[in-house]
Every structure is written in C-alpha cells, then in structure tokens.
Amino acid sequence: MSRKFFVGGNWKMNGDKASLGELIKTLNSAKLDPNTEVVCGAPSIYLEFARSKLDPKIGVAAQNCYKVKGGAFTGEISPAMIKDVGVHWVILGHSERRWVFGETDELIGQKCAHALENGLGVIACIGEKLDEREAGITEKVINAQTKHFADNIKDWSKVVLAYEPVWAIGTGKTASPAQAQDVHDKLRQWVKANVSEAVANSVRIIYGGSVTGGTCKELGGMKDVDGFLVGGAALKPEFVDIINAKQ
C-alpha cells in the first residue's frame, strides 16, 4: 500500500510574529513536493496567525491539548478551541511533554482519544531515552507507549505515529537510517499483531531526531520511514529540502 509521505515541523517554544512570518513567506513561496503532506506545529499563541498566513495546502498543528472540552484548567487548550481557529492537527506525547512536564502514558492516551473524537488529526509521539536504548529495551518501551495510544484509537486514518529517539532530539545525534528502519519495521509488526494488518500497512510512521537537509534523503529512502517530525531544522530554510526529500 502506498503511504503519502508526511513531514511535520515542530516549532516548539520558538519564534515571534516577525521571525515566523519570514519562515511562512519562505514556505509559501517554495516549490514543495505536492505528494508530501506538510504540517507545521505552532506555539498555541500563534496558531491562528500561522493558519491565516500559511498557504492552505500546508497544515497547522497545535503542540498539545487537554483531554476535555473546557473547564478550570489554567493554561490548557482543548481540541474544540484548536478547531475553532481553523487548525486540524495536534502533536501528543512528545518526549518533552513526557520527560520535562511529566505527562504519563495514561494521560497522553486520554488526550489522544478526546482529540480524535473531536475530529483532530493526531501526531502520536513515542521514543526511548539513551539509557533505555543502551539497556536494550527500546522495543519494550516503544511498544508500551504505542499500546496506550492504540487502546484509545478507534479510527487510525487520522493518526500518524512519530518515532523520536529521545537521545537524538536536539543533540545533533541521529539514528542511522538502518537503526530508524529497524525500529519502524518492529513498530509496524507490533501494529499488525495488536491492531490489524490493514492498519499496519496504512499507518504512516515518521522519524524525528535531529533530521536535517543533509540526513533526510537517506532516512526517507528507508522502506518503513514515511516522513519526518522536524525540530530545529523546521525553523530554517533547509526545511524545504526536508519536505522535498522524496523527490
């Protein structure tokens, strides 16, 4: 089954209207591969700005959301609010949410269920830390994280799995193409065994971990790497090269 290449840009807590406006101009004027789906994850305060300025063919994602529609949850935003400003994606379970802000697998699963129920697409992040990789438990860790997502997903058509080895985020280290392919293949086999063969064949599994213009083509050539979730490089002109990695 042919899976449409997917490239997400996670801007994280970076930028202002001036710098993001320049980035948006670069993306809008660039020749982007029409066969690649592109989604930019903006800080919540700039979601409406990003959506109003970006070319409609480029999607926008919130970087997080909460598990209910509304209420006394200071600082949080809901899927309903995200949709209300014209945004249709959310990033959930990112390693920074897990390891900096202490979000549990259970909470992330609940947020995923609520986001999907309210019509958002979900970029569902999983990944192991360096000590877990060195201990040889990468597969155990990512399978457990994936299970919490799977337990909360009824319709996989709006889900993209993002494998992000924590040891390769913002460190300049990148999993080798063979390492990335190995984990993606095992993830797909887990989905086949625990969800269905049809979902395993159709779900896009993207790689995130210091992806750059220099590493993207070889990584993108791997059989089970269906795109990227890009951090630092998503704020630079080379993001265009990453989007076009499959050309």
pLDDT for 1 beyond 70: no
Asked whether the predicted pLDDT for residue 193 surpasses 90, the reply is: yes
- Picking from 42, 50, 46, 93, the residue whose alpha carbon sits closest to that of residue 208 is 93
Catalytic hit among 114, 132, 164, 184: 164
| For range 41-47, the mean pLDDT | 98
List pLDDT tens digits, range 107-146.
999 999 999 999 999 999 999 998 999 899 999 999 999 9
**So what's the pLDDT on residue 171?**
78
Beta strand residue intervals within 44-181, DSSP E? 59-62, 89-92, 121-126, 159-163
Q: Model pTM? A: 0.97
Of 37, 94, 114, 128, the active-site residue reads: 94
Question: So what's the pLDDT on residue 247?
Answer: 76
As its CATH architecture, domain 5-243 has: Alpha-Beta Barrel (3.20)
pLDDT of residue 148: 97
| Residue 86 clears pLDDT 90, i.e. is over it | yes
Task: Let me know if 114 is a catalytic residue.
Answer: no
Both tokens of 133, joined, read: 């990789």
For the residues 77-105, what does the mean pLDDT come to? 97
How does pLDDT run across 10-31, given as a tens digit for each residue?
Answer: 999 999 999 999 999 999 999 9
**Which residue carries 């913002």 as its tokens?**
170
Q: What percent of the chain has pLDDT over 70?
A: 100
Mean of pLDDT values over 29-35:
98
The reply to whether 164 belongs to the active site is yes
Domain ranges of the chain: 5-243
